[in-house]
Amino acid sequence: MTQATVKPVNQKIRVWIARGVALACIPFIVFMQSAWSDTLLQPVFEVVGALVVVAAVLGRFWSILYIGGRKNNQVVQDGPYSMCRHPLYLSTTIGAIGLGLMLGSFVLAALLGGVAFVILSMTAAREEAFLRAEFAPDYDRYAQRVPRIWPKPSLFRTPDDVTFNALVLRRNLADALGFLALIPLAELMETLRENGILGSFILP
């Protein structure tokens, strides 16, 4: 493929696909009851899941500080992008796993995380086709050195001073708040289940 035939990925399509998958998962989230709900493990699941979601939000913000306003314009290789090529997608996948854990289910955590990982890996592959065409051979060398999704902390590097795009950061605030909203949502689902309003099948 050449630069003339490769175009950047339409991020709106990715967003709508993700939203469609999220809607498809709603029946699991609403009607699922944790197999651990009557044990001491349930609060452990909730705390660990909430911490994982918070880590995902922080990861997304950290990534946006480096990539905001630069995506598709240059090859960002510092900060989180020095350890993996798609830290934003890694953080989103982690957040999906955190939601499943907050709901008290290994199965749901694996399902949500797996779906997010597959969709975002496919998106990453399409994005990289454009980046390879646009920034060859720099991106090829970067891809050979840095893993796509799974981070390699030993590769971390960052300059002393980092500039960021405040407008892009504000735009991504809504995404972060959406992730944080998962915490009270999970608590609401748990309260409704405890009162017998929700929960018709059990997942471990």
The pLDDT tens digits of the residues spanning 6-30 come to 666 666 666 666 666 666 667 766 7
Nearest to 149 by CA among 116, 180, 108: 116
What's the chain's length in residues?
Answer: 204
Q: Which two tokens stand for residue 103?
A: 């709901």
DSSP state of 198: S
- Which pLDDT tens digit goes with each residue over 50-76? 999 999 999 988 998 898 878 778 899
Fold of the 47-203 domain:
Four Helix Bundle (Hemerythrin (Met), subunit A) (1.20.120)
pTM of the predicted model, to two decimals?
A: 0.82
Query: Which residues in the chain show pLDDT less than 50?
Result: 1-4
Q: CA–CA separation, 14 vs 20, rounded Å?
A: 10
Please report which residue ranges of the chain form alpha helices under DSSP H: 11-31, 41-67, 87-102, 106-135, 138-145, 166-171, 173-180, 182-194
The C-alpha atoms of residue 32 and residue 39 are separated, in whole angstroms, by: 16
Rounded CA-CA distance 175/78 in Å is 23
